[in-house]
Structure 1
Amino acid sequence: MATDIKDTVHAVEAAAVMGLLATRPRVLALGEPTHGEDALLDVRNELFRQLVEEEGYRTIAIESDCLAGLLVDAYVTSSAAAGSLDEVMERGFSHGFGDSAANRELVHWMRAYNEGRPAPEQLRFAGIDGPLEMTGAASPREALTSLHSYLAGHVDAGLLPCTARTLDRLLGADDRWTEPAAMTDPTRSTGRSAEAGELRLLADDLAALLEAQTPHLITATSRGEWERARLYGRTATGLLRYHHWMADTSPGRMARLVGLRDLMMADNLLALAERGPTLVHAHNSHLQRDRSSMRLGGRLLEWWSAGSIASAHLGESYAFFATALGTIRHRGVDAPQPGTLEGLLYALPDDVCVVDSPRLGAALAGTLAAPRASAWFGYFPFEPAHLTATDGLVFIKDIPQGRAASI
């Protein structure tokens, strides 16, 4: 069996990744089994650099706030309004990802790559997540008012379903929407107030007006500005839907919320795929083709991930490479148990490799023990049953503790 495993292993290079695929996918996704470890992002950065330079990918997207990501995109494309690298790292990322040295190096490299290139050849940045954190969801104000402002500047006022003043009145204070207690207590959510219900209808009407006026708007502004307005529209409707279900008291509330979050990610991914070849990095559970699951408060939550939705739409134009790992000793994750998938890969001499996972899955069918158990809640071991539905598996033997930025 060891020989069979070795035959599935390759260097982590763009050529090896593309060699495992029948065609160049429009969206090539790389997952990670945990957040906050720059060693994982270092591998991502180098692989994505090769895929940009050798395979022509033109967008790099990560699991971060899609609206905040507009600031990062402006910086890497050298917009004068973008601010400094320090400001971009502070304001352009959610989930604390702006503190990552590897993310900082990615942004720095993207800007350097774009220097002197014409706009159509420049590398773009995007966040695929909604404006969401574990403690709650943002106010829909930024998305709604930005969409309204764009439309008000370019269509007849009589077509608008409301005025900016009406939106402001219905939105009220932003802290109504960001109340942290609403995540665990649905009665603290404003998502089913009369104002929220009216805003959902207005957001839908504004988004529909944007689509109906597409030919005029692209001509009057630009395709890029219209695409940004579409981002505002789907973010506004997505946030209002999310807030509505935050106020739900049924047993299915949390499963619905995690599913809605991934639906927002999927909508952003599909929009990026329309624009051109896209690389995306997020947690394995957001990008895999199989149904995702997690335990929260003793309850099993199951939902379809952004990757599964995008794959259903795109077919072979979507590819997914998961990442698995051996140890994160500073998190209490020691050498994997014998008989697990990670245990077999850990016995190989390679520190980092990419594995032909469908072929490995076929070779190991019925021979693996139960999935690896994790000593740390923040790390999700790879599910061996997912091997055949994964295009490749990047394996990293050992994750060191921290490092300093080189910029």
Structure 2
Amino acid sequence: MATDIKHITHAVEAAAVLGLLPARPRLLALGEPTHGEDMLLDLRNELFRQLVEQEGYRTIAIESDCMTGLLVDDYVTSGTGTLDEVMERGFSHGWGASAANRELVRWMREFNVRARAAGRPASERLRFAGVDGPLEITAAASPRQALTALHDYLSAEVDADLLPCTRATLDRLLGADDRWTEPAAMTDPARSVGQSAEAGQLRLLADDLVALLDAQRPHLLTATSRDDWDRARLYGRTATGLLRYHRWMADTSPARMTRLVGVRDQMMADNLLAVAARGPALVHAHNSHLQRRESTMRMWEGSVVWWSAGALVNARLGAEYAFVATALGTIRHQGVDTPPPDTLEGLLYELPEDHCVIDAPRLATALGTTPPAPRVSPWFGYAPLDPGHLTAIDGIVFVKDVPRHRGSPSHG
């Protein structure tokens, strides 16, 4: 089989990836089947450099907190803070410990410094975006930061009589932040404040603040910068999304976890669409967040099925969204050894290259009507590629062997 598919393999290069697509996408999504492996992030960094230097891409968006990501964007665009500070405070899920992420941020800042010295316009600078909500798999942030930032933006530019409430009202309804961040709430809905009377009032006020932001758009785009407006929109999306997430944390129905993971990916999708509005971007997240098909995951409450951010964005952007999945052969330091020969990864493992790009639709055609057997991972942190998804994938980056990493997070 390896001989049969050699003609549809290419080097892992931007030109080869874009060559698989009918047109240059607005969002080029590169998925990974596991987190915490710097080798995969090194490949992502190199692909982004080529997209920037050869194809005019200017933004990278990753699976990290959209609010803290603003600190990274400030650093790479304006030099605000230091590299150490943004690596410590600008990433969620432990991503700031990654040597590859540090190298990405350093390179982006240096690129922008050189661009400014050369007199290139601000539109040519590189931008960074976190597209995940302020969420972990076991917790969610207080909506305070996003909600009060939105209120502050509006109160500085809009007649006070138009505001639905004062800042003091928000503070009173929010209460102490540890009410919202209670760790036990993920497994015990009764510990969540998401369906309290105060939370219900905050949801209505957040909705009114976002509606006011939209109603005042002509004025605000004149009175403030486009970046300030975009951030206010981010604050609004995040505040309403977090309040909705907390509402479902307090739910006791069988659909609770489906609702939670669905809200998270809806927040990611909304952030990705905002990134797409700025111009072509490379997106990097787990395959399950970026795929066009429904995502599935087994959690402590059973199997969960939901529409991923990629599926939601694809439904809006169509051909302007492209999805390239990453598949792996081995991660021996995690107990993932040579894949069985009858699996998709086993077939790809026979290829001579250490890593390559494969035309996924043509691979599906070459495999015919009998797909390979699904691979079963002995380690929960790695999700093999579903052979049934091949026709919904534009390309596959295959990495034969993943060496022990240099020190990265293990977020799932």
The TM-score range, normalised by the shorter chain, is: over 0.9
Matching residue within 148, 168, 171 for 1:168: 171
Q: Distance in 2 between matches of 1:17 and 1:375?
A: 30
User: Residue in 2 aligned with 1:325?
Assistant: 328
Q: Aligned runs of 1:377-396 on 2, under 5 Å? A: 377-396=380-399
Is the 1:292–1:304 Cα contact (8 Å) retained in structure 2? Answer: yes
Is the 1:327–1:397 Cα contact (8 Å) retained in structure 2? Answer: yes
Q: Distance in 1 between matches of 2:371 and 2:314?
A: 27
Q: Aligned runs of 1:210-249 on 2, under 5 Å? A: 210-249=213-252
Q: Distance in 2 between matches of 1:116 and 1:154?
A: 35
Q: Aligned runs of 1:3-402 on 2, under 5 Å? A: 3-79=3-79, 82-117=80-115, 118-297=121-300, 299-402=302-405
The CA deviation at 1:295 is 0.8
The CA deviation at 1:404 is 6.9
Q: Distance in 2 between matches of 1:189 and 1:359?
A: 49
Q: Distance in 1 between matches of 2:238 and 2:371?
A: 42
Residue identity opposite 1:37 in structure 2: E
How far does the alpha carbon of each residue in 1:287-329 deviate from its partner, in whole angstroms, 9 at most, with x for none?
Answer: 0001100111261110000000000000000000000000000
Residue identity opposite 2:267 in structure 1: M
Structure 2 vs 1, CA of residues 10 and 227 (structure 1 numbering), >3 Å: closer, same or farther? same
How far does the alpha carbon of each residue in 1:111-147 deviate from its partner, in whole angstroms, 9 at most, with x for none?
Answer: 0111142321100000000000122100000000000
Q: Distance in 2 between matches of 1:149 and 1:319?
A: 37
The CA deviation at 1:58 is 1.1
Q: Distance in 2 between matches of 1:2 and 1:86?
A: 45
Q: Distance in 1 between matches of 2:151 and 2:407?
A: 43
Is the 2:371–2:388 Cα contact (8 Å) retained in structure 1? Answer: no
Q: Distance in 1 between matches of 2:270 and 2:76?
A: 23
Normalized against structure 1, the TM-score is what?
0.97
- Secondary structure of 1:115's aligned partner: helix
- Secondary structure of 1:7's aligned partner: helix
- Secondary structure of 1:294's aligned partner: strand
The CA deviation at 1:3 is 3.1
Q: Distance in 1 between matches of 2:72 and 2:318?
A: 30
Residue identity opposite 1:157 in structure 2: A
The CA deviation at 1:370 is 2.0
Report which stretch shifted further, 290-299 or 66-75. 290-299
Percent identity, aligned pairs only, is 74
Q: Distance in 2 between matches of 1:10 and 1:298?
A: 42
Residue identity opposite 2:203 in structure 1: R
Residue identity opposite 1:4 in structure 2: D
Unpaired runs of at least 5, structure 1? none
Q: Distance in 1 between matches of 2:190 and 2:141?
A: 17
Q: Distance in 2 between matches of 1:334 and 1:206?
A: 52
Q: Distance in 2 between matches of 1:365 and 1:206?
A: 54
Normalized against structure 2, the TM-score is what?
0.96
How far does the alpha carbon of each residue in 1:77-116 deviate from its partner, in whole angstroms, 9 at most, with x for none?
Answer: 124xx31111100100000001000000000011011114
The CA deviation at 1:403 is 2.4
How far does the alpha carbon of each residue in 1:342-394 deviate from its partner, in whole angstroms, 9 at most, with x for none?
Answer: 00110110001000001001111333442111010000000011111100000
The number of aligned residues is 403
Is the 2:97–2:407 Cα contact (8 Å) retained in structure 1? Answer: no
The CA deviation at 1:48 is 1.0
Q: Distance in 2 between matches of 1:359 and 1:310?
A: 24
Q: Distance in 2 between matches of 1:310 and 1:298?
A: 27
Residue identity opposite 1:178 in structure 2: T
Is the 2:2–2:348 Cα contact (8 Å) retained in structure 1? Answer: no
Is the 1:339–1:368 Cα contact (8 Å) retained in structure 2? Answer: no
Unpaired runs of at least 5, structure 2? 116-120
Q: Distance in 2 between matches of 1:260 and 1:114?
A: 35
Give the RMSD, CA atoms, in angstroms: 1.1
Q: Distance in 2 between matches of 1:15 and 1:276?
A: 18
Could you list the runs of 4 or more consecutive aligned residues of structure 1 that deviate by over 6 angstroms after TM superposition? none
Residue identity opposite 1:108 in structure 2: R
